[in-house]
């Protein structure tokens, strides 16, 4: 492929070992400049899925991987710590499988499976919070743009501050 691609490893879910990457590629859609997303396996040089939106590219790659590998071959990814604080509280629930609502999945994938604040990896069915960047108490709402995935630790530390205040206050205390 000649077009430049930006690659980021994917963590969480069936992409847990970081073997797969999400790549973006400039594209022209209906005469407009846009970006297409693809899930690739850089080591093999293979492309698993291509879509005009990230959620769809991830979803079809995930489906493909689920279908192609027996459940027994799936290995839980190693726990990764956040760059700023470790998120140890979350790991105990990481191995439990439970049903995750569509809305929660959307928030999770939009946040790339990481805590919005400390960037630690989250398990989609683990204990993470759909966090209001602008708290309800300060007039925030449940609109998708106001919701981000957050680890339990950041969620409990943030309390009623806005996302901006939280990040700023955290910077001051270091
Ligand atoms: Zn966090």
Rounded distance from Cα 98 to ligand 1 centre (Å) = 21
Burial readout 81-116 (b: 16 or more C-beta within 10 A, e: otherwise): ebeebbbeebbeebeeeeeeeeebbebbbbbbbbbb
Token pair for 113: 């499976």
The residues that bridge with 148 in the sheet, in sequence order, are: 131
Rounded distance from Cα 68 to ligand 1 centre (Å) = 33
Rounded distance from Cα 161 to ligand 1 centre (Å) = 15
For position 69, what pLDDT does the model report?
58
Rounded distance from Cα 66 to ligand 1 centre (Å) = 28
Closest CA to 97 of 74, 115, 81: 74
pLDDT digits (tens, 9 = 90+) for 44-102: 777 778 888 888 888 888 877 777 655 544 444 444 444 444 444 444 444 455 678 88
For position 87, what pLDDT does the model report?
47
Rounded distance from Cα 28 to ligand 1 centre (Å) = 36
Rounded distance from Cα 156 to ligand 1 centre (Å) = 10
Mean local confidence (pLDDT), 8-33 = 74
Helix, strand, coil tally for the chain in percent (to 5): 35, 25, 45
User: What mean pLDDT is reported for the chain?
Assistant: 74
Mean local confidence (pLDDT), 29-58 = 79
| Per-residue confidence band for 150, with pLDDT thresholds at 50, 70 and 90 | very high
Rounded distance from Cα 120 to ligand 1 centre (Å) = 6
Rounded distance from Cα 136 to ligand 1 centre (Å) = 20
pLDDT digits (tens, 9 = 90+) for 99-139: 788 889 999 999 999 999 899 999 998 899 998 888 887 78
pTM: 0.41
- Tally Cβ neighbours within 10 Å of residue 153: 20
Relative to beta strand 128-132, strand 147-151 is antiparallel
Q: Which residues, by Cβ under 5 Å, contact ligand 1, an ion?
A: 115, 117-118, 151, 154
Contact of 134 with 148, CB cutoff 8 Å: no
């Amino acid at each position: 492929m000649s077009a430049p691609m930006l690659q980021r490893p994917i963590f969480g879910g069936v992409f847990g070992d970081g073997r797969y990457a999400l790549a973006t590629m400039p594209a022209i859609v209906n005469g407009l400049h846009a970006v297409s997303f693809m899930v690739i396996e850089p080591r093999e040089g293979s492309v698993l899925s291509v879509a005009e939106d990230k959620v769809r590219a991830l979803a079809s790659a995930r489906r493909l991987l689920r279908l192609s590998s027996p459940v027994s071959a799936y290995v839980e990814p190693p726990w990764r710590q956040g760059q700023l604080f470790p998120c140890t509280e979350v790991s105990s629930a990481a191995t439990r499988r439970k049903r995750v609502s569509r809305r929660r999945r959307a928030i999770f994938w939009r946040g790339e499976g990481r805590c919005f604040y400390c960037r630690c990896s989250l398990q989609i069915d683990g204990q993470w919070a759909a966090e209001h960047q602008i708290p309800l108490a300060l007039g925030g709402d449940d609109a998708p743009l106001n919701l981000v995935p957050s680890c339990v630790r950041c969620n409990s530390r943030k309390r009623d501050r806005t996302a901006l205040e939280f990040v700023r206050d955290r910077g001051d205390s270091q």
